[in-house]
Amino acid sequence: MNRRNFFRNTALGGVAFTGLTGPLSSFASETASSNTAQFKLKYAPGFGMFREHAGNDPIDHIKFVHDQGFRAIFDNGFMGKEPALQEKISNELARRNMDMGPFVLYADFGVKSMVTRDPEMMEMLKKKMHEAVELRKRTQIKQALVVPGRYDEKLAWDFQTANVIDAMRMCCDIVGPSGLELVMEPLNAHTDHPGLFLTTIPQSYMICKAVNHPACKIVNDMYHQQITEGNIIPNMNMAWEYIGAFHIGDNPGRNEPTTGEINYLNIFKHIHAKGYDGVLCMEHGKSIRGKDGEVALLEAYRKVDAF
């Protein structure tokens, strides 16, 4: 991709990027030069989010988003990529001093996994954890995402909770020595994922407390939590010691900030004031299709980062 033609090919031109303070020549550079318009927080676009401008190659995507001032990316499907590509991506991120958000290690929404004491499930989880350790060795990626699966209607809730605690402790004991963190994701049961065990930040906090392992963390998906419980900033504060990463998405619609009811400007200001230096994965769609939608997405992040 010829990024030097980016402004010429964008209908709104340079005016669309009101938050971009650096010279256009530095923006269009093919090198990994620093960008004076870096975002204050590590918002992380997923591969394909800027396909209209950056194409489909993941390395081109990294170069492009770095040029826009992003300091991280995320890739839910990172574990499924070929090892050579994983290493290539990891090396490119390291070269540009960028981070990667949690990749999905285990998230089967149709299975009662951690809530049971099924020996086959436990062996499957052990195998997944060892695979994650090997990935960590190759790439130095810091975090992996896990979902405890569906709840069991025939088993008392407290027994299920105890089983999840035991399962998470087992998994953390495997991955912890490698430096990998496991972030549990609570998901909403109202709109997207009915039937799952883990749904709220307080519930996730309690499990982390009980697991009592430095590798056991939470990914706070603010889209899901707005639907499930609201009270985003107070719950964030209460669980702060265990929050390892964030997911972003406005509600309703699960698109970029400013398109729904969540006040992301205030939330990001609060996260920044608390000294957070981790990744905030942009796990959402775009409210507008095509190149204009990609420009609108960048404008939205400039607005909510202007605190």
| pLDDT, tens digit (0-9, with 9 covering 90-100), for 223-275 | 999 999 999 999 999 999 999 999 999 999 999 999 999 999 999 999 999 99
Tokens of 238: 């209460």
> What percentage of the chain has pLDDT greater than the value 90?
88
At a CB cut-off of 8 Å and minimum separation 6, what does 83 contact? 138
93 and 104 in contact (C-beta within 8 Å)? no
249 to 77, 139, 141, 152: CA distances (angstroms): 18, 27, 23, 29
- Give tens-digit pLDDT for 185-235: 999 999 999 999 999 999 999 999 999 999 999 999 999 999 999 999 999
Residue 86 dihedral angles phi and psi, to the nearest 5°: -55, -45
Residue 208's SS3 state is: helix
Average pLDDT over residues 89-117: 97
Round the average pLDDT of the chain to a whole number and report it: 91
DSSP string for residues in 129-178: HHHHHHHHHHH---EEEE--BB--TTS-HHHHHHHHHHHHHHHHHHHGGG
Instruction: Give, in words, the CATH class of 41-304.
Output: alpha beta
Contact (CB, 8 A) for 22 and 5: no
Residue 24: pLDDT above 90?
no
In 3-state terms, what secondary structure has residue 65? Answer: helix
Angle between helices 83-95 and 58-67 (to 10 degrees): 20
36 confidence band (pLDDT: 50, 70, 90)? low
Collect all residues with Cβ–Cβ distance below 8 Å to 208 and sequence separation of at least 6: 184, 216, 217, 218, 239, 242
Q: How confident is the model at residue 37 (pLDDT cuts 50, 70, 90)?
A: confident
Q: Does pLDDT of 11 surpass 90?
A: no
Residue 248, token pair as written in the block: 């972003």
Q: Which residues are bridge partners to 34 per DSSP? A: none
Q: Are 100 and 72 in contact (CB under 8 A)?
A: yes
Residue 4 has pLDDT above 90, yes or no: no
Joined together, the tokens standing for residue 127 give: 């195998």
Determine the length of the chain: 307
Domain positions in the chain: 41-304
CB under 8 A, 24+ apart: contacts of 288-292 = 290/52, 291/9, 291/10, 291/11, 291/52, 291/53, 292/11, 292/12
Question: What separation, in Å, do the N-terminal and C-terminal C-alpha atoms of the chain show?
Answer: 33
Sign for the CA dihedral angle at 272, 276, 278, 281 comes to negative
User: Which of 80, 115, 45, 61 has the alpha carbon at shortest distance from 280?
Assistant: 45
